[in-house]
Amino acid sequence: MLDGHPEMTPSRDVRAGFDHPDLPLIVVSAVALVSGGPLTILRQAVDAARASSDASFLFLVHDAGSWEESGNVRFLSFPHARRSYLRRLRTEYRRFPKLSRRWRPDVWLSLHDVTPPVTARRQAVYCHNPLPYWKPTLRDLRLHPFEVVRSFLYGFVFRTNARRNDHVIGQLPWYAEFMGRYMRVPRERLVVVAPRAGGPPPVVEKAPARGAEPLACLYASLPRVFKNFEEALELCDQPGVRLTVTVSGDENRYARWVRSRARGDVVFAGQLSHEDALAAMARSDVVLFPSRLETFGLPVQEAIDLGRTLVLPVRPWTVAVAGEYPRAHFYRSVEEGRAILAALREGREPPGERPRVPQSDLPRLEGFEELYAFLLR
């Protein structure tokens, strides 16, 4: 295990630490990915690296001790990068360029939107931060001011050095195209790599709840102001519908505000592990995902893999992921969403028109396995 602490200098000949030092070296920068969907993406990137025999992989992470190394996969700790955003930028723009000049990697892949000025044969950035797409409201500013201010600062950070990238990677075509315009990168450099849900096999479907048994709805997400828990509450505030949310209601100002608005049958389950969230999803009749801001919305894909019924607003990410899933029902207003849930509760065919799924000619790769091969061409 290598250590990236400023007082500990990683070996200049980093390739010598691998079983096959003659293989191409891919450095994957992920020092900021420690929880939620971004951590799931990092795990998928690591799993794909372990399955590869075409390259050696060095992952730059928050805590290398949390990961198990293998013959072609090593980890380097950068524990100070998350202590403040200034330290993070110092790591990206000062420390990484120095390390890259020592290591001379064949590929440098950044998994968190920032483009450091590194030395590599090929450089790419994987974009899955939705904040550039956000149009915050005054209520957002009041409930979570730091998030709003950070969303404006990201514009400068994401555009810095952006054209150094040979490829800008989005999880869905709409977001890759948006980031291409936002980062001012030519369209021919855009690539789509959708994450994989990777959950358990689908469970046996049960009939919708009827009679005295409430329709069990779940919204699994984090207490961030753009996750729009208030809309889930409004959708489910009707007889015969029970909503479970994965917040406790006391995590931050926004969570407390959400809890104060709760009416009807609402369960505040608190944050769940990924495994427990999937289990809760499998037990639910309906999975909701009213978030106002996503790049992909991994829970939507996970619900599809579990065979769940989905009730979703019409958004670019929901349509792209679930537009062709027959058990997805889309609403364009809260009133329409409430009518869909009422119909499901009563065993009727839900109202609503299915949106058209947009087509794209951008290159699309299946998972990190194909991405690594693509970057090594």
Tokens representing residue 105 in the block: 């990697």
- Residue position matching structure tokens 């299946």: 366
The per-residue pLDDT of the chain, averaged, comes to 89
Q: Which CATH superfamily is domain 215-346 in?
A: Glycogen Phosphorylase B; (3.40.50.2000)
Q: What is the pLDDT of residues 84-98, one digit of tens each?
A: 888 988 999 999 999
Tokens representing residue 288 in the block: 């909701």
pTM above 0.85, yes or no: no
Q: Domain 2-195+363-375 adopts which CATH fold?
A: Rossmann fold (3.40.50)
pLDDT at position 12: 57
Confidence of residue 23 (pLDDT cuts 50, 70, 90): very high
Phi, psi of 64 (to 5 degrees): -65, -25
Q: What is the pLDDT of residues 187-212, one digit of tens each?
A: 999 999 988 755 444 443 444 444 56
* 169-to-24, 125, 319, 343 alpha-carbon distances in Å: 21, 6, 19, 39
Q: Hey, CA dihedral for 144, 132, 41, 115, is it positive or negative?
A: negative
List, in order, residues 6 or more apart from 45 with CB less than 8 Å away.
28, 30, 59, 111, 368
Closest CA to 39 of 128, 131, 107, 169: 128
Yes or no: say if 58 and 103 are a contact pair by the CB < 8 Å rule: yes
**Pairing mode, if any, of strands 190-194 and 2-3?**
unpaired
Strand, helix or coil at 43?
A: helix
**What whole-number distance in Å separates Cα of residue 159 and Cα of residue 113?**
9
pLDDT at position 152: 79
| Long-range contacts at 121-124 (CB < 8 A, ≥ 24 apart) | 122/166, 122/167, 122/375, 123/164, 123/165, 123/166, 124/165, 124/166, 124/167, 124/168, 124/169, 124/191, 124/375
Q: What is the pLDDT of residues 232-281, one digit of tens each?
A: 999 999 999 999 999 999 999 999 999 999 999 999 999 998 889 999 99
Strand, helix or coil at 135?
A: coil
- Using alpha carbons only, give the angle 107, 56, 40 rounded to the nearest 5 degrees: 80
Closest CA to 118 of 104, 131, 137: 104
Q: What is the pLDDT of residues 126-135, one digit of tens each?
A: 998 888 888 8
pLDDT at position 198: 52
**What whole-number distance in Å separates Cα of residue 23 and Cα of residue 44?**
21
- Using alpha carbons only, give the angle 305, 308, 314 rounded to the nearest 5 degrees: 95
Domain with CATH 3.40.50.2000 in the chain: 215-346
Q: What is the pLDDT of residues 43-84, one digit of tens each?
A: 999 999 999 999 999 999 999 999 999 889 999 999 998 888
pLDDT at position 207: 43
